[in-house]
A = this chain, B = another copy of it.
Amino acid sequence: MNVVSARSLDLTFRTGDGPVHALKDIELDIAPGEFVSFIGPSGCGKTTFLRCVAGLEAPTGGTLTVNGMTPDEARRARAYGYVFQAAGLYPWRTIGGNIRLPLEIMGFPEAEKKRRVAETLALVDLDGFEKKFPWQLSGGMQQRASIARALAFDADLLLMDEPFGALDEIVRDRLNEELLALWARTGKTMLFVTHSIPEAVYLSTKIVVMSPRPGRISDVIDSPLPKERPLDIRDSAEFIAIAHRVREGLRAGMEAA
């Protein structure tokens, strides 16, 4: 069964100055264990699509299922973890406290909370930072903590909206590597929004190129790259070819709009 399945999905926002057609006729299937990147110019509806999957936004047309349920049911079943663009850690909670937050809300027993916090901290390589406050960490470390927070309750689906958008290229490179490793280890399904072509190509098994006004899917590219990806795969011809196709897809979408 597909983890995410969208059929002629449509979403129009009513705003003060007329309706905004944010998503139009989205058809997409995502199988378990895939790493899917969404790329497209600003305003093309990437975030909106992710929010629909998360049940934070209600589509105005078409159908969308998550693990076979409606997105809202999936949200209440805590089917996914969501990572926002900015780390958005609560500044009044320590790193450990932030990771504990979803566990508290979902009512995990005390011992279980402890175990999971320690485990996820280790997973994102932040052991020893449990008692620190967010602002005592660098931006990259904060973003890792926010990923840990989304991992803590061990949902099979991870939704990430430009998680590394605010970081500099070098830190970003390292986090990309780590994310790939994590994905390989856990086998989760990933939906990943990005603005960066190299990032999308480097990470994904499938790249969804979107174009704006109204937000549509203009291309879906299945990556032939192997699962093992050292950083300098980015200088390989295959990589460059996919990147080229993504860029062409973006350009075409822009011109059509």
Contact = CB atoms under 8 A, between A and B. Distances in A.
A83 B171 CA distance: 25
A171 B42 contact: yes
Contacts of A232: 244
A254 B174 CA distance: 11
A170 B252 CA distance: 12
B244 A41 contact: no
Contacts of A171: 41-42
Interface residues of A, number: 17
A235 interface: yes
A102 to B, nearest CB: 29
A196 B170 contact: no
Nearest to A170: B41
Contacts of A196: 169
Given A42-B171, A170-B250, 7 more contacts: A41-B168, A41-B170, A42-B139, A168-B195, A169-B195, A169-B196, A235-B243
A58 interface: no
A196 B196 CA distance: 11
A247 to B, nearest CB: 8
Contacts of A197: 169
Interface string A149-181: 000000000000000000011110000000000
Interface in A32-53: 41-42
A69 interface: no
Nearest to A174: B254
18 contacts: A41-B168, A41-B170, A41-B171, A42-B139, A42-B168, A42-B170, A42-B171, A168-B195, A169-B195, A169-B196, A169-B197, A170-B250, A170-B254, A232-B244, A235-B240, A235-B243, A235-B244, A240-B240
A26 to B, nearest CB: 20
Interface string A135-146: 000010000000
A235 B242 CA distance: 11
Interface string A244-257: 10000010001000
Task: Choose among A169, A196, A250 the residue with the greatest number of B CB atoms under 10 Å from its CB.
Answer: A169
Contacts of A235: 240, 243-244
Interface string A222-240: 0000000000100100001
